Amino acid sequence: MAVWALGINHTTAPLDMRGRFAFAIDQVAPTLHALRTNLASSSQPPEAALLSTCNRTEIYLAAEQAAMDATIDWLARSGGVSPAELRSHAYTLEDGRVARHAFRVASGLDSMVLGEAQILGQLKDAVRVADEAGTLGSTLNQLFQRSFAVAKEVRTATEIGAHSISMSAAAVRLAGQLFEDFTRLRVLFVGAGEMIELAATHFAAKNPKSITIANRTLERGEKLASRFGGQVLRLADLPTRLHEFDVVVSSTASQLPIIGLGAVERALKQRKRRPIFMVDLAVPRDIEPEVKALEDIYLYTVDDLAHVVQTGQAHRQAAVAQAEAIVDAGVQNFLHWLDQRRAVPMIRQLHAQADEWREAELARARKLLARGDDVEVVLDALSRGLTQKMLHGALAELRAGDEVTRQRAMGAIEHFFLRKEG
């Protein structure tokens, strides 16, 4: 069984390129089915899983033979770019390198925020969706379950996450550099997903004047707003009320920007040029990139926040080395399991052959018993028949005229039939 992976992340591809390959959670299952249909050969379609976050999109696959070129071609078409352009930003991995990468991702070693824990939950969600879609087979399931175990050991045995700074904490820090008094700020959160919930938690701790949630689904927005004593805003009303807010944090699953240049320009005029601090945590972007050029607008994307979250790097180096050792051990264990899996077809053939011999001898014994033969004689004949069938191949090799064949057979027979136990 071959295992391979294709991906882009925050270190290999710019934000807009990552946006082309971002998949909302409800798009993952149909995307996996389309991928498997495209890659299906005469044998079974490949096992497949898809991880898509603001920092990465990765496809994991397993089949009898790897099909990397076909995987690249398919993903390039889905993002509307050429295979050559995708290759220039992508990484391709096979077998042991796939396991190492998956284990490092789950452990937070490959994250923009070193040691962050959110990626583990996102990876578990990706595995759950693949399982529910019926695209997760035994090989990928084993890979991911081992990645979760490695991540848990890294989290408990090292201090890899002790000095990490989340994106949300970084956003609060940057806002504090622009505004002196948080208690006078009106904060707007666009979206109601996990990223917004985390960001709202950090900003709420600073006691802003007000918190408002704008979301496409009012019920979900109200549920999140109630946690922070906030208000709810219809997404359709956002352009006309944008001027009311000093801080705007957006993270939705929209495929197109929902806050445009014109709306921000109008908001600035109504605010008499008072500044707005904006954070776009979405991939693809929620806020048009041209907004960043406006005077009195301070716009940060996930890539901009990377420079802030890298603080404390020196404190984590010892923990990183320890975590990498745990990953190494996990990779070796997975490769050993994968190697054992290669014997499964032979084991099945062996069981099938033994069952065929057993059924033949049982059928012969039943006939003898039906005609009244002595039970002891029938049992003796059954055991002799099975023994002869099992030893026939080995004895034929020993009687072969070729000396090399005989020597090879003698070694195998001694190993499988004549070795002493204990």
Indicate which residues carry an active-site annotation: 54
- Nearest residue to 238 (alpha-carbon basis) of 221, 255, 224, 226: 221
Q: Which amino acid is at 131?
A: D
Q: How far is Cα 398 from Cα 413, in angstroms, rounded to an integer? A: 9
φ and ψ at 413, to 5 degrees? -65, -40
Q: Which residue has the tokens 């890899």?
A: 160
Tokens (6 digits) for 32: 């996996």
C-alpha dist (Å) from residue 14 to 8, 20, 252, 257, 306: 9, 10, 19, 17, 12
Are 364 and 382 in contact by the 8 Å Cβ rule? The answer is: yes
H helices present in 40-137, as ranges: 68-79, 83-89, 96-106, 118-133
- Nearest residue to 252 (alpha-carbon basis) of 177, 347, 188, 157: 188
- Nearest residue to 110 (alpha-carbon basis) of 62, 60, 160, 157: 160
Q: How far is Cα 339 from Cα 344, in angstroms, rounded to an integer? A: 10
Tokens (6 digits) for 359: 């059924």
Buried b (16+ CB within 10 A) or exposed e, 384-395: ebbeebeeeeee
- Nearest residue to 150 (alpha-carbon basis) of 325, 5, 271: 325
